Amino acid sequence: MLELLPVFEWLYGLAESIGLSGTLLTVVVYSVLGVMMFGILALLALFLVWWERKIAAHIQQRFGPMRTGWHGWYQTIMDALKLLQKEDIRVEKRDKVVFFWAPIICFVAAFLAYVVMPFGKGLIVADLNIGILYIIAVTTFTVISLLMAGWGSNNKYALLGGMRSAAQVVSYEVPMVASILTVIIFTGSLSMVDIVESQSGWVWNWFIFRVPFGPIAFITYIIAATAEANRTPFDIPEAEQELVAGFNIEYSGMKFAMFFLAEFVNMFTVSAIAVTLFFGGWQGAFLPSWAWFLGKTLLVVLLLMLFRWTYPRLRVDQLMEFAWKILVPITFANLIIAAIMKYAGWYW
């Protein structure tokens, strides 16, 4: 079983043998961990891009990438390399500082959530006691980066995309947080490890199986999360037919790649949160804990991908109405039901 603790100890031992100490030691060890996490997530994002293309193709009765390797498995690696070599086009009338920082902030915000992500038993960078709240807080930087990209490009399509995304993410944050709170009522802790451990034991301890609030909370969460990740049927910010590409229209090369990778990392993030909250996180028999976590998360990712390629996009007004008139009341009613059940002790 792969655990992080031995890796940590090995790293500490290595760093200490060089002669580092105190603050510097912590800084070095966490930097190495950060780089490791970045590498794993970048690979994962590349895989997700390829997977999405394959799923889309098969839904549309095509093959998708086939020419590079077995079923085109290294197509996205080649695409990424190509993007790195491309010219970095800078629009003449851009807002220089804002245009430059937008993709960087988007990229960093996407990876920040993984500080508290429990990949497996003991496989977590830092078990903050505000875990899930921390994730909700740092993901708000994604919105700011999209707004910056929209503004900095000095392009009306980009501006519209950025504005739509801000309106959408701010609206859908409310039902998303309310769904998460439904689970938090029962765990009594915001720590990601505590949330997973409160679902230990048999499979009916997973929050998805705790009727009636569990499944409802999961459904509302996954809807809100799809909107948060800007994916179809909620991909208004980058609706290709209306806005060409939305907020990232003026970006090319490396900067575009950063937005693109961040989008797929975000998709993995919301799925991983869903798994942690509702599907028992790393819990499972026989296989190592990280394999369970990865497998469950990829299943949720698959669900999001199927959404994308089988549902049509909502209109802007429908999107807002759905958030405020349907989703918010349902999540709050569900939250109250969960609170009553917790108070009365009607749960297991």
Partner 1 sequence: MVESNVGPVFYILAFLIIASAVMVVSLKNIFHCALALVMCLFSVAGIYILLNAEFLAAAQVLIYVGAVAVLMIFAIMLTTNLASRNIKQVTENALVSVFICALFCLGTIFLLWATPAKIWRYATESLPVDNTAIIGKYLMTEFVLPFEVVSLLLMAAMIGAIVLARKERS
Footprint on this chain of partner 1 (rule: CB under 8 A): 22-23, 95, 97-98, 128-130, 133-134, 136-138, 140-141, 143-144, 147-148, 150-151, 154, 159, 162-163, 166-167, 169-170, 173, 188-190
When the beta carbons of 162 and 233 are compared against partner 1, the nearer one is 162
CB of 339 to partner 1, least distance (A): 12
Residues 304, 55: contact at Cβ < 8 Å? no
| Residue carrying the six token digits 């629009």 | 91
CB of 21 to partner 1, least distance (A): 12
When the beta carbons of 169 and 301 are compared against partner 1, the nearer one is 169
When the beta carbons of 22 and 312 are compared against partner 1, the nearer one is 22
When the beta carbons of 120 and 162 are compared against partner 1, the nearer one is 162
| Residue carrying the six token digits 């990778």 | 261
Radius of gyration of the chain (CA): 21
Please give the Cα distance from 169 to 173 (Å, whole number). Answer: 6
Please give the Cα distance from 133 to 180 (Å, whole number). Answer: 10
CB of 348 to partner 1, least distance (A): 22
When the beta carbons of 136 and 216 are compared against partner 1, the nearer one is 136
Whether residue 212 has a cis bond before it, omega within 30° of 0? yes
CB of 305 to partner 1, least distance (A): 27
CB of 38 to partner 1, least distance (A): 21
Residues 64, 53: contact at Cβ < 8 Å? yes
Residues 180, 136: contact at Cβ < 8 Å? yes
Amino acid at 36: M
When the beta carbons of 44 and 328 are compared against partner 1, the nearer one is 328
For the chain, give percent helix, strand, coil, nearest 5: 75, 0, 25
CB of 112 to partner 1, least distance (A): 11
